Structure 1
Amino acid sequence: FPPKKIIGNMTPELIDLRHQSLQSWFREVLRHPEIGHSALIQWFVSDQKYQINEEEILEAIDGGIYLKQDLGKMGYLHILRKGRFRKKWCVLRNNILYKYKSHTEKHPTGQFVFITCDVTEVAFQEPGDIDLFCFMVMTEKDKLIFGTETEEDTEEWVDCLAAATYPLESPDSDSEKPVNV
């Protein structure tokens, strides 16, 4: 087999090669007269264990298929970096916010891992033509500003991020008031 995850070898080509090698190996295991016909292997390859309520399955715009419980939120976010907002397709899964160049990309260009943070709506005026509804994610080390094009989207992102993370331990925090940045 190609090597497992080692720093720097997670290229899509290597992942595909490992996947193909694992499939070939599994096919060989299934051909073995005793192992391939065992009850445990038959159960493993059967469709019975994968019975999922169809209402729990969500097909994402990016073509991926997710269980609703795995997917917090997805959509375009404007991310403030170096004094400018950049529009990125973002997918929140558990406490990780993956960012993509667009909704058609298959591989993320980066990610934010939020374990403990505070998420609040903020008033932020972007010089330019775009009026954004913004929110801030404050971690122990960083303050990140995100913007959406509707107030409803901002509220949904704030709720989803707050539900996916633990709040920062701060005796003075007042997360109910909007913050001016």
Structure 2
Amino acid sequence: MMSLLRRLWPAALLPFLAGCFVSEESLIEAEAAVLPAEGEIIVCLAPDDPCLTLQRQDDGYLAEAPNPEEEDLLVRFAPLIQAGGRQVFIAEAGLQTEDGIAYTYGLARRLPAPDERGATMQIAALDCEELDDAVLGQFEADGGTIGAGKVTECQPVSLDQLKETLLTAHRAGLATDAWWQAHAEDL
């Protein structure tokens, strides 16, 4: 996976994808996708990296590649839970690879107002390695696959399984700014 990730843009997404939830097929079907904003979404990951502008396109958003030889980034959102007075979404990024499209997942929530860099949405990294043994065991019992190597990758079999796993592991933290700050720092 890491050799695949090195070829993906933008470089700012690489830490977001390490130890991640991934899928070879989209888990967010068109009918499950929601549009968290009428217009564009601005996402700022690492402090030194440029922010990404996601333009609404069909049932998701598109971030155009900075170079013509690179592929665009396609993002879809699905609602997860209301927490701390805000809707939390599962974010699915479709990344073009030599073998097709690979999908990776994170969490997102709208900011009440743009931050100092202009971001309108906050992204939280998801790391399989932070799941305890009980959650990982249930994940595998429900058909998910855990790939161990340099990076642990969890491959859920469905959006429902991904939602259940994330809520089991993170429900209490999703309502707190401290949880979001800690997971944004993992980017």
The question of a shared fold, defined as TM-score above 0.5 by the shorter chain, is answered with no
Higher relative contact order (CA 8 A, sep 6+): 2
State the TM-score, normalized to the length of structure 1. Answer: 0.29
Q: Which has the larger radius of gyration?
A: 1
State the TM-score, normalized to the length of structure 2. Answer: 0.28
